[in-house]
């Protein structure tokens, strides 16, 4: 059945180019400068504790983050338990909530929504800040029937007033999003995990970044893009890597 829905998405839903590129990158992506074992060793050597990092900045806010993200997870599970498909989880929601509450960004952009854990956490923080807006880029689960219905399914309706969702793939979506913004204060990358797509996305958005922009990238263990980025000769920002819920999260910032 998965093959049927992939073919349907390609030829009847207008996603041919996006799906073909995803399939191509799965087999022919840039491998870059590290093999998996070297990359994992580097991540372990440089790992920081998310708890200690956030507590050192604002202990009360970190306690709020723990409480609120637990509520988000519980509310989301109640919805996802009723669905027969696995829509994934939300590895970086604590960091996203904490930094959104702490820095009170005006403009947040994310790539990758899926069921909506990360979007939920950002939008909840924006709601409590009473300030900010989230622009999200995603692409439907083309292996599932009626995939659009699952995008952001865990997000409560009352939070959606501060949200704009685009679902035609990052290439089209980011062009639309950047037509509506001046700069990006917080950027979360969690879409196509290939090296080439990470590189292309950051290059495209670079003119909307400034010295205060915070960048969060999920699944940095998948390839060496994050490693290469923070080891550029002209790289002058601070960075951290965290291990959370079985995934590695990369953080790049100037000051927090």
Confidence of residue 255 (pLDDT cuts 50, 70, 90): confident
Confidence of residue 3 (pLDDT cuts 50, 70, 90): very low
* 47 DSSP β-pair partners: 241
| Residue-range definition of the domain harbouring residue 140 | 2-253
pLDDT at residue 87 greater than cutoff 60 = yes
Better pLDDT: 2 or 87? 87
- For 57, phi then psi, to 5°, come to -90, -50
For residue 194, the domain's CATH number is 3.40.50.150
Render pLDDT for 101-146 as a digit per residue (tens, 0 to 9): 999 999 999 999 999 999 999 999 999 999 999 999 998 876 666 7
Confidence of residue 1 (pLDDT cuts 50, 70, 90): very low
Are 42 and 226 in contact by the 8 Å Cβ rule? The answer is no
Are 237 and 253 in contact by the 8 Å Cβ rule? The answer is yes
Give the Å distances, CA to CA, from 59 to 52, 72, 144, 195.
9, 20, 42, 35
Better pLDDT: 219 or 14? 219
**Total of domains in the chain:** 1
pLDDT at residue 170 greater than cutoff 70 = yes
Task: State the average pLDDT over residues 81-104.
Answer: 87
- pLDDT at residue 26 in the model: 58
Confidence of residue 245 (pLDDT cuts 50, 70, 90): confident
What's the per-residue H, E or C state across the chain?
Answer: CHHHHHHHHHHCCCCHHHHHHHHHHHHHCCCCCCCHHHHHHHHHHHECCHHHHHHHHCHHHHHHHHHHHHHHHHHHHHHHCCCCCCCCCCCCHHHHHHHHHHHCCCEEEEECCCCCHHHHHHHHHHHHHCCCEEEEECCCCCCCCCHHHHCCCCCCHHHHHHEEEECCCHHHHHHHHHCCCCCCCEEEECCCCCHHHHHHHHHHHHHHCCCCCEEEEECHHHCCHHHHHHCCCCCCCEEEEEEECCEEEEEEECCC
Strand duo 133-137 + 163-166: pairing: parallel
pLDDT at residue 32 greater than cutoff 50 = yes
Q: Which of 13-27, 105-119, 163-177 is predicted least confidently?
A: 13-27
Render pLDDT for 135-163 as a digit per residue (tens, 0 to 9): 999 988 766 667 788 899 999 999 999 99
d(CA 215, CA 195): 16
Render pLDDT for 34-76 as a digit per residue (tens, 0 to 9): 888 999 999 999 999 999 999 999 999 999 999 999 999 999 9
Render pLDDT for 183-235 as a digit per residue (tens, 0 to 9): 999 999 999 989 999 999 999 999 999 999 999 999 999 999 999 999 998 89
Task: State the average pLDDT over residues 235-250.
Answer: 94
């Amino acid at each position: 059945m998965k093959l049927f829905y992939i073919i349907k998405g390609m030829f009847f839903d207008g996603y041919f180019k996006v799906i073909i590129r995803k399939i191509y990158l799965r087999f022919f992506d840039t491998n870059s400068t590290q093999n998996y074992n070297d990359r994992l060793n580097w991540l372990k050597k440089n790992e920081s504790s998310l708890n200690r990092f956030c507590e050192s900045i604002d202990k009360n806010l970190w306690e709020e983050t723990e409480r609120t993200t637990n509520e988000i997870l519980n509310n989301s599970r109640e919805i996802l338990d009723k669905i027969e498909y696995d829509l994934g989880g939300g590895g970086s929601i604590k960091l996203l909530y904490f930094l959104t509450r702490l820095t009170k960004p005006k403009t947040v952009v994310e790539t990758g929504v899926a069921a909506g854990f990360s979007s939920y956490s950002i939008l909840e923080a924006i709601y409590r800040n009473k300030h900010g807006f989230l622009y999200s880029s995603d692409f439907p689960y083309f292996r599932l029937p009626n995939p659009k219905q699952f995008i952001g399914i865990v997000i409560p309706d009352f939070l959606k007033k501060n949200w704009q969702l685009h679902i035609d793939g990052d290439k089209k979506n980011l062009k639309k999003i950047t037509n509506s913004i001046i700069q990006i204060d917080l950027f979360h990358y969690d879409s196509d995990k290939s090296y080439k797509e990470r590189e292309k996305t950051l290059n495209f958005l670079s003119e909307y970044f400034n010295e205060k922009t915070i960048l969060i990238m999920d699944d940095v263990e998948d390839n060496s893009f994050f490693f290469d980025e923070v080891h550029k000769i002209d790289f002058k920002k601070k960075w951290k890597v965290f291990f959370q819920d079985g995934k590695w999260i990369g953080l790049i910032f100037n000051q927090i």
